[in-house]
Amino acid sequence: MNRGSKEHWDGDDFELEREFEEVSDAYHSKKGKPPRVPKRLERRIKELARYRIGEELRDNWIFGHIPQLSLAATLLFGVGVFYVVTLEQQSKPALNKVAPQSELAAPAPSMDDATRERMEEAARMTAAEYTRKSRPAAAPSIAGVQSLRADPLRQLVGTWHGENELRLSPGRPIRKSATTARASMVGKILNVSYEWQEEGKPQTGLLLISPDDAGKTVDGVWIDSWHMGTSIMNCKGHIENGMISMLGSYPAPSGPDWGWRIEIAQPDTNSFQVRMYNITPAGQEALAVEADYARD
């Protein structure tokens, strides 16, 4: 056996080789039946064989350290997921659980008998019957009047029709014509556009009313094709008890400016009235325009 090839052997292999040489020399010297291997050498060979097989198994990917650690981590992860899912299922309420009949039938603690009777009556009636019964009368209730006074501008939103009366001067005939109006809110500003006629000729007008944050004072703009022509009247006023009152002025060529007061009142939710007064420089007032509208 080449001694130069022993440099890569470990100590146990080299010792085994040396012991095996003794057996080989004994065999060649006797030239007879093969010698019996000593038990000590046989045990040593088996120990080295087990050692070599164990090393190969540890280096193997299937049976080595890495797959064993991976398998253990997988098992731990699976156990953790199962535990979390089990806790989540236990914490969720049952979806198909039905409340006892006593709980469903029991009224709310704060519900009085009158309220409960109204709710039971509404449940027995159809939607149309309940709507007809709960619809308010034409005249406003106390709550309706308070609502009109609380926000008179928004109560005017809608389309309207009515009659317009023009009074040129005391003693002269009143000129009547049909009138229509459309009111809308532009943010907090009320926009009222209207149409009427003077001696059969169509006329148009526009009122813009802007309240302050408290809803007590207003700024206004009035435009009318017959009264103002191409001019614009700026007004200032207030809201009191649900009525809007604004004061403006216009120039009179022969003397000082005249005043013009516009009042808008809404006695109920289905009607409103417009009154315009001409005011002399001395402070005398005369009714100039009177228009009564009903909701379409």
| Domain boundaries along the sequence of the chain | 3-59, 151-295
Token duo for residue 266: 């809404």
pLDDT reported for residue 136 = 38
155 — pLDDT class (breaks 50, 70, 90): very high
95 — pLDDT class (breaks 50, 70, 90): very low
pLDDT reported for residue 67 = 61
Q: Per DSSP, what are the bridge partners of residue 238?
A: 217, 245
pLDDT at 236 over 60: yes
72 — pLDDT class (breaks 50, 70, 90): confident
Which CATH superfamily hosts domain 151-295? Calycin beta-barrel core domain (2.40.128.20)
pLDDT tens-digit map of 124-134: 544 444 334 43
168 — pLDDT class (breaks 50, 70, 90): confident
Token duo for residue 14: 């080299």
Q: Hey, CA dihedral for 97, 102, 104, 107, is it positive or negative?
A: negative
pLDDT reported for residue 6 = 45
Q: Which residue has the higher pLDDT, 10 or 265?
A: 265
Helices (H), the chain: 11-30, 39-59, 65-91, 101-105, 113-124, 127-134, 142-150
Say how far apart CA 24 and CA 96 lie, in whole Å.
87
pLDDT reported for residue 139 = 39
> Could you tell me if 189 and 206 are in contact, meaning their C-beta atoms sit under 8 angstroms apart?
no
pLDDT tens-digit map of 195-227: 999 999 999 999 999 999 888 999 999 999 999
Give the mean pLDDT of 50-65. 60
pLDDT at 35 over 50: yes
The pLDDT > 90 percentage for the chain reads 43
What b/e string do you get for 89-114 counting C-beta neighbours within 10 Å, with b at 16 or more?
A: eeeeeeeeeeeeeeeeeeeeeeeeee
pLDDT at 48 over 90: no
> Could you tell me if 235 and 244 are in contact, meaning their C-beta atoms sit under 8 angstroms apart?
no
Which are the contacts of 227, defined by CB distance < 8 A and separation ≥ 6?
205, 289
pLDDT at 151 over 60: yes
pLDDT reported for residue 259 = 95
158 — pLDDT class (breaks 50, 70, 90): very high
Give the mean pLDDT of 61-69. 57
Closest CA to 273 of 203, 186, 181, 169: 181
